[in-house]
A and B are shown apart, each in its own frame.
Chain A
Amino acid sequence: MKDECIFYKKLMNDYLNVDISKIEEIALMEHIDLCLSCRRDFEKLRKISTLTKEIETIKAPENFTDLLKNEINSTQKKGSKFMEIFLVIAASIVLFVMGFAISSTYLVKNENFNGTPEISEKRSNIEIPVKKNIKPIKPEEINIKNNYRKWEKVYLEEVSH
């Protein structure tokens, strides 16, 4: 193969790609007229290109679009069912978390207010009236000696009988 032929082989490729300028095309045709080897190659390549375009193309089946429609519709239904379940689960989680959050912030608020949680304050509400009726005992009122003597008196009486 002559060196210049390499250049024209590239032009043949461009010609078949329909990616060639008019000047290049003229140059190619002139070379082909003169060079037997390139002419033979070009004829073969052109035949391959023409024959390829004549090969019967494969067609999609008649029901192709309907099949696709069904597939799309069924995935959408599946998707929405999944979405439904997902939403129900998500909603219950949200409700649970919200309920927990509300009750715990309420507890925290009460704790901050008087240092005791709400539950014990409720209990203290019951105790308060009882406590109110008990007269606080002053330290000086506690007289152990007197109490002991009372007990001693009762005991001695029981024994002596």
Chain B
Amino acid sequence: MKPLNKLKLKELKIQDNFTDNDLVLKYLNGDEDSFYTLVNRYKDKIVNYIYRFVNNYEIAVELSQETFMRIYKYMPDYKFDYKFSTLIYKIASNLSIDYLRKEGKFIGTEMVDIQSLKMKSIASPEEKLLMEELKKKLESEIMNLPIIYRQPFILKEMENLEISQIAKILGCKKGTVKSRLFRARNILKEKLGPYFGV
């Protein structure tokens, strides 16, 4: 059993060296495992991304499964016009928005009550605790951003994608992405600014 596992592990490590496009090509040439290497590469990112919209872990996992199912069904017609990552974030974005529309939660308008957190300098354990609280506060404020600002913000700041890729995912111009990011950052700055003590 053990040598097999080691071999499998080695195989997986080799698979890890392939680009997304290589894996898609390998899959299209009959190597089913390549598809699952792509799944393993993106599953955490997609679950995290969707979670930031639906705010429910079970639903985030369910919609992520659906995202991969859709891409699996799309594979036989795969066109290399988009990066694999662009395509998968695009599907995940659409599924999240569809879900929010169905639930009547398309605009994140609900407000989270702001506790009075005072921050002056960063050093002591007390302040570290404040830092953690601030992070939580920021997390909930991100969740409260209207979707059109939340999407580019998460793609940029959490998923670390480039502006051009975000534009493709959201189907808008680079300029639109930049101005939405500007707006998102300023909303967060207004909400959290008083707690930074700058």
Q: Which residues of A contact B (CB under 8 A)?
A: 9-10, 13-14, 16-17, 19, 40-41, 43-45, 47-49, 51-55, 57-61, 64-65, 67-69, 71-72, 75
Contacts and interface: CB of A to CB of B under 8 A. Distances in A.
Nearest to B153: A52
Given A54-B135, A55-B158, A58-B48, A43 B196 contact: yes
Given A43-B196, A43-B198, A71-B65, A55 B182 contact: no
Interface residues of B, number: 39
Nearest to B131: A51
B43 A17 contact: no
B156 to A, nearest CB: 7
Summarize A's interface: helix, strand, loop or mixed: helix
Contact of A51 (B39, B138, B193): B138
Interface of B: 36, 39-40, 43-48, 51, 57, 60-61, 64-65, 68-69, 72, 134-135, 138-139, 142, 153, 156-158, 162-163, 178, 181-182, 185, 188-189, 192-193, 196, 198
Contacts of A53: 157-158
Contacts of A19: 162-163, 178
B72 A49 contact: no
B100 to A, nearest CB: 17
A12 to B, nearest CB: 8
Given A43-B198, A44-B193, A58-B57, A51 B185 contact: no
